[in-house]
């Protein structure tokens, strides 16, 4: 946590203090010196979003807002409620300023830059994942993310955050559609995941493996419900899939699931390791889970 706090304090030191951009960006982070890589988007120079080279980038600032909110959760876990409250306050202040500067009400989207010239899936994903939008604004942003044809699209690395956003929005079919990038790897003669769209810098890059995570965490819906994975929450999102199953390694054994989707009903079985309990959720209904094997079915 001292390291986490040091990083946060550094970014706070990069905030615009004076009216350097007609006062618009005061309080937001000016891109730090160095390589502010975000994603290998073809339209971006060196993988850096608009105004990511020494300017005030909406993408970088939404990432900061998201991280501040996560830091707030971490501070609570380590028993620092005062520091948690500070991080939450900073997150909310950053989000309010981002809405003031980057929100495009006509499009229902967040721009990447102060001049509202560039727009990306990245900014919309980070804004939604921050958890700092009102339900109404999130609905607008979600619609734009799913339908706007001119957004700079995430590539292999940042698509992890796109898939996380689809999980939040309950859009598994959109996730399955974007997996085409991975399914096409084999047809291109590849046996490992690449770093970036062609011409790729590496034909074997670890960050391209995140669909493995999302198969378990998003499609099968297996995620920790408490610190240390002491409890589990299983919220499958199969989308157009009729069946999905898997075995997830857990510190106390394996979590095994096998689901069949029959119309609006999801049924199957779940096995939890000894000493682990949890909750199975489908739609607006839930069932308690206990250690061992159990049958589940919910409309």
Give the distance, in angstroms, between the CA of residue 165 and the centroid of all CA atoms in the same chain. Answer: 5
Distances 145 to 45, 51, 151, 170 between C-alpha atoms, Å: 22, 21, 8, 13
- Sequence ranges of the chain with CATH classification 2.60.420.10: 220-298
CATH topology of domain 2-153: Glycosyltransferase (1.50.10)
- The Cα-based distances of 292 to 55, 69, 199, 270, 286 in angstroms read 54, 35, 48, 8, 18
Q: Six-digit token pair at 198?
A: 């062609």
What DSSP string runs through 49-103? -TTTTTS--HHHHHHHHHHHHHHHHHHHHTT-HHHHHHHHHHHHHHHHHHHHHHE
CATH for the stretch 220-298: 2.60.420.10
Q: In a 3-state reduction of DSSP, which class is residue 224?
A: strand
Q: What is the pLDDT along the chain (299 residues), one digit of tens a residue?
A: 999 999 999 999 999 987 555 457 889 999 999 999 999 999 999 999 999 999 999 999 999 999 999 999 999 999 999 999 999 999 999 999 999 999 999 999 999 999 999 999 999 999 999 999 999 999 999 999 999 999 999 999 999 999 999 999 999 999 999 999 999 998 888 999 999 988 888 999 999 999 999 999 999 999 999 989 999 999 999 999 999 999 999 999 999 999 999 988 999 999 999 999 999 999 999 999 999 999 999 99
């Amino acid at each position: 946590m001292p390291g986490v706090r040091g990083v946060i304090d550094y970014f706070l030191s990069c905030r615009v203090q004076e009216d350097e951009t007609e006062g618009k960006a005061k309080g937001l982070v000016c891109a730090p010196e160095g390589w502010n890589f975000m994603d290998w988007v073809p339209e971006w120079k060196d993988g850096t979003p608009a105004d990511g080279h020494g300017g005030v980038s909406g993408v970088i600032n939404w990432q900061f807002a998201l991280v501040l909110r996560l830091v707030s959760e971490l501070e609570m876990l380590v028993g620092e409620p005062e520091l948690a409250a500070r991080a939450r306050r900073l997150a909310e202040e950053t989000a309010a300023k981002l809405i003031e500067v980057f929100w495009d009400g006509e499009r229902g989207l967040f721009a990447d830059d102060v001049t509202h010239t560039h727009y990306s899936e990245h900014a919309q994903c980070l804004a939604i994942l921050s958890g700092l939008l009102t339900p109404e604004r999130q609905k607008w942003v979600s619609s734009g993310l799913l339908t706007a044809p001119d957004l700079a699209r995430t590539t292999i690395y940042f698509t992890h955050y796109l898939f996380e956003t689809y999980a939040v929005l309950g859009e598994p079919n959109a996730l399955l559609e974007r997996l085409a990038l991975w399914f096409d790897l084999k047809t291109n003669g590849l046996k490992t995941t690449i770093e970036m769209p062609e011409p790729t810098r590496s034909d074997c890059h670890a960050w391209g493996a995140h669909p493995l995570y999302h198969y378990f965490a998003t499609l099968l819906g297996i995620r920790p419900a408490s610190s240390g994975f002491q409890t589990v929450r299983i919220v499958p999102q199969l989308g157009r899939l009729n069946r999905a199953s898997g075995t997830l390694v857990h510190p106390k054994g394996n979590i095994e699931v096998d689901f069949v989707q029959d119309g609006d009903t999801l049924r199957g079985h779940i096995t939890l390791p000894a000493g682990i309990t949890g909750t199975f959720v489908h739609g607006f209904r839930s069932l308690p889970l206990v250690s061992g094997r159990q049958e589940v079915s919910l409309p």
